[in-house]
Each structure stands twice: as C-alpha cells, then as structure tokens.
Chains A and B, each alone.
Chain A
Amino acid sequence: MLVYLIRRIGQSIMVVAVMATLVFLAVFAVGDPVAILASPDADQRELEAITTRLGLDRPIYEQFGIFVWNALQGDLGRSFVYAQPAVDVILQRFPATMELALAALILSILLGVPLGVIAGLKPESLLGRSIMTTSIFGFSLPNFWLGLMLILLFAVQLRWLPASGRGETVEVFGVHLSLFTWDGLRHLFLPALTLSLYKASLVIRIAQAGTREVMLQDYVRFARAKGLSYNRIVFVHVLKNMMIPVVTVLGLELGSMIAFAVVTETVFAYPGMGKLLIDSINRLDRPVIVAYLMLTVVIFVIINLVVDLLYAAIDPRVRLTESKG
C-alpha cells in the first residue's frame, strides 16, 4: 500500500508539473495585454513603461523560470486588471463558487433521491416511467439555456426571484457567505437549481437502479417477513443501501460542478471564480487565468488522488496491478 501511495502521489505531482507548463505556454500565446490595458492615445514611452512593469519584455524562458520559482512560493503573479496578487483575486471569489457548488449538490440530492426512489419502487407505473423520461430531458437541456429560461420565468415574468448577482453577505470567520441571509439565499436559488439539474438527472438514474436492486435483496424480503411496515423498509433499509453508489458518484462529480459553475455564473452574473475566468479571458488578464487553471488542476488532481486511494484501500487488486506496471 505504501509503494502504491508513493507512486500515486509522484504521478500527481508530475501531472501538476506538466499542466503548469502547458498552461503557461498556452496562456502566453493569448494576445497582447499591453494593447488592451493601455489607453488608446498612450505614446510609445508609456507603452514601454507598462511592458517593463508587467515583465512582458523578457524572453519567454525567463518569464517561465520566474513563473515556476514564484509558483512554488504560492505567488502566481499580479492581476493586470485588479492590481492585486492573482491568487488573492481568485480566493476572494472562491467562497461564492463553493457555496454555489455545495448548494447545487444538496439540491440535486433533495430532488434526485426521492424521485429516483419513487421511480425505482414502481418502475412500470406511469409516474415511474415519466420520472425516467423527464431525466432524459435533464441530460439534454443545455445548462446555460436552462438558466436563461429560469430567469425568464422566475425573474422576468413572475418577478419572484432576482436574476443576477449574489445579494447580501455576512462575514463568518472572515469569509463572506450569503447562505445565512434571506437575500443571499434568494440570489443563490436559481443558479444552484440550474447547476443541479444535470446532476439531479444523474442521481435519479442511479437511485432508480439502486432501489430496484435493493428491493430484490434477501434482507428486504426478511424485513418484510418480520412484519416491518412498508415505510420503515423504504426509509431505513432501502434508502441506506442505495445511497452508497449515489454518494460515490456525487463525490466524483464535485470537480465537474466547479467547471460547470463557469457557465452558470456567467448566465446569472454571479461573482464567483468561473465568472472571473470568463472576464479575465475577455480582458486577457493572464496571471488570473493561469492562477485559476493551476488552482483547478490542483483541485482535480487531489479529487482524483483521494478517489483512487479510496478504491485501492477497498479493492486490493487495484494496488497490485498498479505497483507492477
């Protein structure tokens, strides 16, 4: 197990290093930030001053060397636009995105599990079949269009909920959270619903299959024979056992939640990391793009590492074949 652990961590560090190089090279090729940042009537001297201040006049390998050295110390450059360290700019937006991803995760469980269990208990009924058909639509609806339609319905037509922004926040342990204010929750609801619908369809499918499987098990039959009430069987025995695959899949999907937050945040003008990425791409704010990508690479590598290690801990075959290869 220790050999496997060391190998696997070594691989993860390799991945981060390769991605860092690719990200730097890719982003270096994006346009000319000086042309964007300087005012149109700036003269040659001003342009040069900006170039020198941003370090853009050095050769590419020197810029890369500085980048690697600084990155190791947790410094990914200063944002051209915000004139702050890029990491700080992103970390300021991080709680908003995590709040959105977590709210969406909770919503997808709240929506998906009950619907999936109902469809699984009565797979042949009209209700069961229509739940499954609806889940196909949940897969097919493009995330951003769904968001637009929700804005149209709830914000423009019904005027129940706000269409954009994050609303009022309160400071909890130095972090600004909107979960604890009514206004914040109202702003959070539509983006979280948009982000959750795809995952909810996934949960419905897994929960339905899981419930059908569990209902056929001997322990359910035994519980019935013991004379337990139907509700107790469903809420205790079935629910407990079908949640295992649901939790596994949702853990894996947390990463893609953060990626898809880019789209949802743009639709709802929600001030998270994803919106920041799109704004930075449009403004060619390279350090922020690099910092965002590096942060996501690290998050993804950690998620994959944890999942792999958990699998290896559960299934000895994985670590045996891996340490040989």
Chain B
Amino acid sequence: MSDTTTKGATQATATPPRPVEQGESLLRRHIASFFESKTATIGLVVLVALVFAAFSAPLWAPQNPYDLATLSIMDNMLPPGERLDTGMLAILGTDDQGRDMFSAVLYGMRVSLTVGTVSVLVAAIIGASVGVFAAYMGGRIESFIMRVVDLQLSFPAILVALILLAVFGRGVDKVIIALIIVQWAYYARTVRGSALVEKRREYIEAARCLSLPAYRLVFKHLLPNCLPPLIVVATVQIANAIALEATLSFLGVGVPVTEPSLGMLIANGYRYLLSGTYWISTFPGVALVILIVAINLVGDRLRDVLNPRLSR
C-alpha cells in the first residue's frame, strides 16, 4: 500500500508534464460545461463587456467627470437626451455639477470594480493562508483561529465596516482595507473546511512520506486542491463587496466625493429625488444592479461546474 502511494508520488514529481496536461483537459471540460448554461453565458458576456467598458472609459467616454475644468455649471440637471453647451449629447442626463451621467457611470463602475476585486483578492489570499494554516496545525491553534473567525462572522459585515470607516475616515484605500477586514473570515472558514478533507487524502500522505518541507506541502499540495470552493465564494463575494462599498459610500463613509463610485453617484442624486430629478440616482443604480446580477449568475454556474459531487 505504502509502496504504491510512494511510487505514484515519485512519478508525479518526476514527470511534471503529465499532470499539467491532465489539468488542462480538466480546465477545458470545466469551460465547456460552464457555457452549457445560457443564463451564465449571458451573465459572463455582460460582465466582460461592463469590465471592458469601465476600464477603457478614459479612451472613449464623452467626458472626464473628474476634470472639473471641463464641467460647466450651466449644464447642470439636464434630463436624459439633452445636449450640453458644447453640443455633446448627454444620453443619461447630467448631475447637479453639470457632469455627464453616462461618463460618470463608466468611471464610477471602474472605482466599484477596483474596490470589489482588490479587496476580494487580498482578503482571499489572507483568509486562505490563515485557513490552510489552521487546518494544517490543528489542536489549540486551530480552535483559537476558528473562534476568532466565528466571532467575526457573528456580526453583520455592514455594521463592522461602518464602524471601521467611521474610525479610518474616507478614501478608496480605506474602503478596501475595511472590506478586507470584514471579508477574510469567510475565506478562512471555506479553505479550512476543504483543507481538513484534503489533509486525509493519499497524496498528502505520499508527500509527507517524501518528507517535503511544511511550506511546500501546504502551498504546493494542500492549498491548490482547496481552490475550487474558494473560487466560488470569491466570485460571489466580489458582488457582495461591490454592493457593500456602494452602501457605505451612500451612507457617507465610503469613497471621497472626488472619486465617485456608483454608490456615491446614487447618494448625490438622493437629494434631488423628491423633486422628480430621477436620473441621477436611477442610472448608476441600474448599472450597479446589472453588474451584481451578472457576477451572481457567473458565480452560481461556477458553483455547479466546480462541485465534484455534481460532475463525473
């Protein structure tokens, strides 16, 4: 028994191309099964289009909404479809400072996407390391780490982030830090769960037999096999992080006024909503909802594709 496992492991380390090839075909199979779902495909297409539009905005957006010199206060509160003084068409109208809403939404989406993805990436890396460390160490260290995780998860993210930002002050970097603090625990719990299962598998036993150093065992063997559930949680969390950032900015503790995210744009329009000036709040909100729904659809499908119980 121990003979065959060692042999299998030596083969895998001695001839690296083979497992890589297998990995590729598995990836191809996952991709193919992802596109079997029509709604998920639409979600992905919309998502890619939005990301592209947001990040290429400086090249083609009709206006740079951060450049106060190009704004004219004479153009303020124009309803959708009116023309600015310069003759430019404001498809989605203008806000109280004469900003073209279409450009503002594109730039705002860029801030929202950046805050969402960066915070999720960093939180996932921290959380995954903590989770895999806890699972590998076991014993008192593990139960202490998991107590902290449980404690943090028993309080709603919105409340914790609100207080953190009340302390930190406004700023894109501060919002990202607050979102990392409220999110890491999700990933720690997810990764620890799957690492506990993977730890008992034969390939880990085999790697142990080779007396590989602990860091190599954890990062090369254990962690990669815990990734699928992490990817699913992280995808859905990007949508949650974007919604959370928008909410915090709306409450006035998020991004600064100079770099409006979608939530900030909605908050700006809130003051004028009661007088019937609907477009300032409505269109950034529509963009936000489309973005979140698209991410959720992709995440939902990833969960089905990457779930080993459903495949094979």
Contact residues of A with B, CB < 8 Å? 15, 18, 23, 26-27, 29-30, 136-137, 139-145, 148-149, 151-152, 155-156, 163, 255-256, 259-260, 262-263, 266-267, 277-278, 281-282, 289, 293, 296-297, 300, 304, 325
B274 contacts A156, C-beta separation under 8 Å: yes
* Chain A residues near B243 (CB-CB < 8 A): 140, 142
Q: B155 contacts which of A27, A151, A300 (Cβ < 8 Å)?
A: A300
Q: A262 contacts which of B151, B162, B282 (Cβ < 8 Å)?
A: B162
CB distance from A214 to the nearest CB of B (A): 23
For the complex, would chain B's binding face be called helix, strand, loop or mixed by DSSP majority?
helix
A304 contacts B281, C-beta separation under 8 Å: no
B250 contacts A26, C-beta separation under 8 Å: no
In this complex, the member of A18, A140, A262 whose beta carbon has the largest number of chain B beta carbons within 10 angstroms is A140
* Chain B residues near A30 (CB-CB < 8 A): 166-167
Q: How large is the interface on B (under 10, 10 to 19, 20 to 34, 35 or more residues)?
A: 35 or more
A262 contacts B167, C-beta separation under 8 Å: no
Q: A281 contacts which of B155, B166, B273, B274 (Cβ < 8 Å)?
A: B166
Within 8 A of A (CB), among B95-123: none
* B86 contacts partner chain A, Cβ-Cβ < 8 Å: no
* Chain B residues near A23 (CB-CB < 8 A): 163
* Chain B residues near A27 (CB-CB < 8 A): 163, 166-167
Closest 8 CB pairs of A and B: A259-B156, A145-B285, A281-B166, A140-B292, A259-B159, A140-B293, A256-B156, A26-B167
Q: A156-B273, A304-B154 are in contact. Are A148 and B285 (CB under 8 A)?
A: yes
Q: B151 contacts which of A15, A143, A255, A289 (Cβ < 8 Å)?
A: A15
* B266 contacts partner chain A, Cβ-Cβ < 8 Å: yes
B274 contacts A26, C-beta separation under 8 Å: no
* Chain B residues near A144 (CB-CB < 8 A): 246-247, 250-251, 263, 266
Complex: chain B residue closest to A253, CB-CB? B156
Q: A139-B296, A282-B252 are in contact. Are A145 and B166 (CB under 8 A)?
A: no
Question: In the complex, A84→B154 CA distance in Å?
Answer: 31
In this complex, the member of A137, A145, A156 whose beta carbon has the largest number of chain B beta carbons within 10 angstroms is A145
* Chain B residues near A26 (CB-CB < 8 A): 163-164, 167
* B158 contacts partner chain A, Cβ-Cβ < 8 Å: yes
Q: B247 contacts which of A155, A263, A296, A304 (Cβ < 8 Å)?
A: A263
* B136 contacts partner chain A, Cβ-Cβ < 8 Å: no
* B145 contacts partner chain A, Cβ-Cβ < 8 Å: no
Q: A145 contacts which of B156, B251, B288 (Cβ < 8 Å)?
A: B288
* B16 contacts partner chain A, Cβ-Cβ < 8 Å: no
Question: In the complex, A304→B155 CA distance in Å?
Answer: 10
A148 contacts B273, C-beta separation under 8 Å: yes
Question: In the complex, A289→B156 CA distance in Å?
Answer: 17
- Ordered by A's residue number, 6 sampled pairs between the chains whose C-beta atoms are within 8 Å are A26-B163, A136-B297, A140-B292, A140-B296, A260-B156, A304-B154
